Amino acid sequence: MKIQNSLLAGIIALTLFSCDSIEDKKGRFLLKGNEKLEENDPKSAIDFYHEAIELDSTYSDAWFNKAVAHLKLHQLNEAIADFSQAINFRPDYPNAYFQRGLSYLDNGEFYKAKSDAEWLHKNDSENWEGYFLSGLVAEKLEDYPTALTSFQKASELNPSNSDLLVNQATVYYYQKEFEEASKLLDKAESINPSEPNLHNLRSMIAFDYGKYQEALEAVEKAISLDSRQAYYYNNKGLYLLFLGEKEKGLELINQSIQMDDSNPFALRNKGIFYVMEGDKISALQYLTELYKDYPDMELVEEYYKKAQDL
């Protein structure tokens, strides 16, 4: 389960420029870059932002938007470097701290993300984004009480944001407090019934209760709302395994791995498939390393032992 954040929507910096020739030129390059981003052409956008920076190396908005373009290309290190340049030339740039923090988080640099969250707490304390970032960091560090407190504070500052309620529900899910999680999901759905993550989390709760058909229907709703998330397909594959549709389940698990080969849950699910098929060698190929690296992952120990007993 990944905690959802809206990383790119609405974050492009806009700058008004004067009639001065350099200002006029760099501003036009910025706007051309923005147009290319809107056209989903981040590579061309980067070229235009680079032209703006060539005219003014301290142009923080161009650095910021160039970072956004790198994010669209999944170039985290480049994005972090550009957000840092934007901050260097505009030290009081809250959105750059927030987006850099999210990028650090995605890059596995959790304590750097935490540092950016702390800057936001100190310098932009009435903005929900700093608490949201703190919550994401704490969740990654498995400090669930801090994560929950942070998400609750963010939700107080931005009560119409359903994502923040889903984040809280996710923390309760991790703590096996399924009733509290479900209450928050109901509240989130009353705000935004088209939030795919709430339906995915509902599916995970249903699975843990052994309600496999209900889990399947919920994750299918999530996929209908957002077909780009690899872990939705992995979850659907898992539910199909437990519904006896093993080949269909494996197909979806493999699809998930093709979309994102860094998800250990998908490898676990392949191991479960081979246990169900009675293929000891293939099952242990997946489950032995997972049992070593992720011994506390749900179902890993159970199916590792089942594989050994085949």
Could you tell me if residue 112 is inside a domain? no
3-state SS record for 1-14: CCCCCCCCCCCCCC
pLDDT digits (tens, 9 = 90+) for 132-165: 999 999 999 999 999 999 999 999 999 999 999 9
> For residue 13, what pLDDT is reported?
58
How far is it, in rounded angstroms, from Cα 259 to Cα 195? 21
pLDDT at 4 over 80: no
> For residue 6, what pLDDT is reported?
44
Question: What mean pLDDT comes out for the span 268-288?
Answer: 96
CB neighbours of 209 closer than 8 A, spacing ≥ 6?
A: 178
pLDDT at 18 over 50: no
CB neighbours of 227 closer than 8 A, spacing ≥ 6?
A: none
Could you tell me if residue 181 is inside a domain? no
Classify residue 31 by burial, with Cβ atoms within 10 Å: 0-12, 13-18, 19+. Answer: middle
pLDDT digits (tens, 9 = 90+) for 74-116: 899 999 999 999 999 999 999 999 999 999 999 999 999 999 9
pLDDT at 15 over 60: no
pTM above 0.85, yes or no: no
pLDDT digits (tens, 9 = 90+) for 37-53: 999 999 999 999 999 99
Gyration radius of the chain over CA positions: 22
Could you tell me if residue 58 is inside a domain? yes
pLDDT digits (tens, 9 = 90+) for 199-222: 999 999 999 999 999 999 999 999
Pairwise pLDDT comparison (14 vs 61), residue with the higher score: 61
Confidence of residue 12 (pLDDT cuts 50, 70, 90): low
Q: For residue 53, give the nearest of 38, 69, 73 by alpha carbon.
A: 69
Q: Are 256 and 229 in contact (CB under 8 A)?
A: no
Torsion sign over Cα 147, 148, 153, 156: positive
Q: In angstroms, how far is the first alpha carbon of the chain from the final one?
A: 30
Say which amino acid occupies 205: I
User: Among residues 51, 73, 91, which one ends one of the domains?
Assistant: 91
> For residue 7, what pLDDT is reported?
45
DSSP 8-state secondary structure symbol assigned to residue 1: -
In total, how many domains does the chain have? 2
Could you tell me if residue 237 is inside a domain? no
Largest CA distance in the chain: 77
Give the count of beta carbons closer than 10 Å to the beta carbon of residue 35. Answer: 13
pLDDT digits (tens, 9 = 90+) for 255-276: 999 998 889 999 999 999 999 9
Could you tell me if residue 74 is inside a domain? yes
Could you tell me if residue 115 is inside a domain? no
User: Among residues 45, 72, 91, which one ends one of the domains?
Assistant: 91
User: Among residues 32, 63, 91, which one ends one of the domains?
Assistant: 91
DSSP 8-state secondary structure symbol assigned to residue 209: T
Q: What percent of the chain has pLDDT over 70?
A: 94
Could you tell me if residue 264 is inside a domain? yes
Host domain of residue 79: 18-91
> For residue 23, what pLDDT is reported?
78
Could you tell me if residue 52 is inside a domain? yes
Q: Hey, what long-range contacts does 112-117 have (CB within 8 A, 24 or more apart)?
A: 113/137
